[in-house]
Amino acid sequence: MSTPPSPVNPNLPPDHVTVFIDGNELAAPKGSMIIQAADKAGIPIPRFCYHDKLPIAANCRMCLVEVEKMPKPAPACATPVMDGMKIATRSDKALKSQRNVMEFLLINHPLDCPICDQGGECELQDLSLGYGRSVSRFVERKRVVADEDMGPLVASDMTRCIQCTRCVRFTADIAGTYELGGMQRGENLQIGTFDGKPLTTELSGNVIDVCPVGALTNKVFRFKARPWELTAKPSLGYHDALGSNLFHHVRRGEILRSVPRDNEPVNECWISDRDRYAHEGLYAEDRAHVPLVRDGDGFREASWDEALAKAAHILRDNAADDLGILVHPSTSNEEGALLARLADALGTGNLDHRIGQLDLSDGAQAAAFAMPVAELEQAQAIVVVGSNIRYEVPLLHQRLRKAARRGAKIHVVNPVDFDFAFAIASKRIVPPSQLASALAQVDLGDAANVAVIVGAVAENSAHASAIRQAAADFAAARNAKLCRIPQGANALGLSKHGVLPTSRDAQSMLREQRSAYVIYGIEPGLDFADQHAALKALGSAQVVAFSQFACESTRRVADVILPIGALPEIEATLTNLEGKPQSTAVAGKLPGQARPGWRVLRALATELSLPGFEFTDLAGLRAGISPKAILAAPGKPAVQGGNGLEVAVSQAIYRVDAVVRRAQALQVHPLTTGARVVLNAIDATAAGLAEGAMAKLGNGVGTGTLQVVVDDRVAPGCVWIESGYGATAPLAASAKVEVVRA
């Protein structure tokens, strides 16, 4: 029996080996590839198909290197390291191989760099400078590939494709939708969707980032600017609670595109389409540019002095308990702290950011995840309760997919059998009133590392307090980590900075009408859980609106509209679902006379002669604020009576807030289905409803006329609607609805 060879470096851990790359002695983990060892050491190896987040394909062969005792050049991305291996990345043999591959890849490439949107940040362009020939030896006719329509977000020029298959691997292994694939063979290989339909994954924009050439580009950004004209500004995704890190690319104060900013514990190197394309909504026609004051039945433009004087008059005459302050849950920490300070100075305990939640009878507020997002990948079992998590927090869903691929058992308790891109170990599809009892029946077996994730369908329902209690009990009984998704991009930060009621919560101050309200960053017609109560209360009171948009619903209720900046236009801090504060820089230019919200709040407080607003800049503001512990006053239980079918409400993925609703590309996306009511075939037959028919539904307070979709994924005994549409808003606040007329 032969003795195994002694390691080159016996001082290394047993799971590492010694390799020599270009004469440099390196330690590399066993099983890793040459390219990974080189990248760790900062030794460049050219590549196209390799991406450290994607499975290895070894398609392009651009990473060929010379390995001692190997007769042929070896692909660095697919050759495992071995102890004592000697590798040359810049030898004559390696360079000749790399140059030959580059020449081969350029045979059919159109060489249309001057008109290609990828120009200036193209990997093929960069590498051809070092490895390409100035003149091609191939004079044959180049192949041409017909472009297919991949939807409103991604533009394709597949003649430029070099068949690296990064996009194919992304949709298969990261997104889990398997929408892209290769058809035919050899030089006839074409990448596309098999059925010719648009991409529907909520992460489709990432294929633009992984594409090393100009085959897949940003359709919204197409032909607008060159990369070298743009300035990158660090910012955050503010349309869900994850807080994805990104860059806004800006030219002359206009945000032209958004791209991922690497942050491994949060979003890795990806962003959702919602965060990538939402900036388009900043430039909507109804953007608030100047202060507006009510003049009869309409509005007129006013100076800041006049508008602030009008707002101060309203607040001075309606202070203390007569005043309600309602705040959008994506408001920054700085603005939230000032709003809490304003409420204290005016003597009101009617302050709340939980405007989308119906049942706050338990005084619930946002809490940080008990398990970090990155650690969810290592969980043995995960229970998802009341969440369409794929559309609620797309990159959290992607983490769950990674966990499932590693062997985690994922259990689902939902009123609708939502589509997920991973295998489900067990599912319980029941009406919202039964979610709590169904959760108790979930069998986790002997799983040790368990997470319970509670989402928007549960948190915003009329049965939320019971579900939250059941989730807490379940987690305690099974030693699981409870992860309640905060309902808003900065709900956790606002809770920590005291934007919570000591008197009336959001629903109570609307149902028990106050004489005046401050609404901050809210689109009144679509952002409230109980739309009927909100519009009724606001319509009969005096309202000061701090708003990014002078939309129709704001004009309907406001007496003063003060234009403020959206998050990409201000310097701010948000706290994500892990409790991590993250900062943004100013990217876009504020429109017209709009100002950062903190400046407007300071000016209003000065007009009111209130203490605590003496700072002069953002640094002074931040120095004077700190976390503020508030025990939120419990609200009244949501109305759960009535007859008919139970209502399950989920967030429409591209209708979550005012900015997203105005992003035109997202509004024509296949995932934006429009207002509709979905119900089980049993209930549809009983109500005399057919697929595609229009039905009028009511809840005793309001009615909505919606198109009927029959889908057995919906639990019998309930209907499913999506929030964010005017047509569904009257029905979203109730526990049950009846079919008024089929």
465 near 359, Cβ under 8 Å?
A: yes
Give the start-end residues of each E strand in 578-683.
581-584, 645-651, 676-679
Name residue 600's amino acid.
Answer: V
Which pLDDT does position 646 carry in this prediction? 93
Which pLDDT does position 184 carry in this prediction? 84
Q: Residue 383 forms beta bridges with which residues?
A: 411, 452
> How far is the CA of 406 from the CAs of 266, 381, 391, 399, 422, in angstroms?
19, 11, 22, 11, 11
Instruction: Please identify which residue in the block is written with the tokens 């927090």.
Output: 393
Q: What is the DSSP string of 402-450?
A: HHHHTT-EEEEEESB----SS--SEEEE--GGGHHHHHHT---TT--SE
The CB-based long-range contact list for 267-270 (8 Å cut-off, 24+ gap) reads 267/237, 267/242, 267/395, 268/53, 268/395, 269/53, 269/209, 270/174, 270/203, 270/206, 270/209, 270/244, 270/395, 270/398
Distance (Å, whole) CA 301 – CA 336: 27
Which parts of the chain register pLDDT below 70?
1-4, 6, 640-641, 742
Which pLDDT does position 190 carry in this prediction? 87
- What's the token pair of residue 592? 């017209």
Distance (Å, whole) CA 669 – CA 151: 7
90 near 22, Cβ under 8 Å?
A: yes
The CA-based diameter of the chain, rounded to the nearest angstrom, is 99
Phi/psi at 405 (nearest 5 deg)?
-70, -25
Residue 714 per-residue DSSP state? B
297 in helix, strand or coil?
A: coil
Which pLDDT does position 700 carry in this prediction? 76
Residue 552: its H or E element: helix 552-557
Distance (Å, whole) CA 462 – CA 727: 19
How many CA atoms, within 13 angstroms, populate the side-chain half-sphere of residue 512? 13
Distance (Å, whole) CA 334 – CA 350: 19
Distance (Å, whole) CA 399 – CA 383: 14
Distance (Å, whole) CA 7 – CA 14: 9
In this structure, the number of other CB atoms found within 10 A of the CB of residue 668 comes to 13
- Nearest residue to 380 via CA among 356, 400, 360, 359: 400
Distance (Å, whole) CA 89 – CA 22: 6
Which pLDDT does position 340 carry in this prediction? 96
Name residue 135's amino acid.
Answer: V
29 in helix, strand or coil?
A: strand
SS3 content of the chain, % helix, strand, coil (to 5): 30, 20, 50
Which pLDDT does position 703 carry in this prediction? 85
How many CA atoms, within 13 angstroms, populate the side-chain half-sphere of residue 415? 30
Distance (Å, whole) CA 322 – CA 608: 17
Q: Residue 516 forms beta bridges with which residues?
A: 323, 542
Q: What is the DSSP string of 77-111?
A: TS-B--TTEEEESSSHHHHHHHHHHHHHHTSS---
323 in helix, strand or coil?
A: strand
Instruction: Please identify which residue in the block is written with the tokens 């590839």.
Output: 33
pTM score, two decimals? 0.94
Which pLDDT does position 3 carry in this prediction? 62
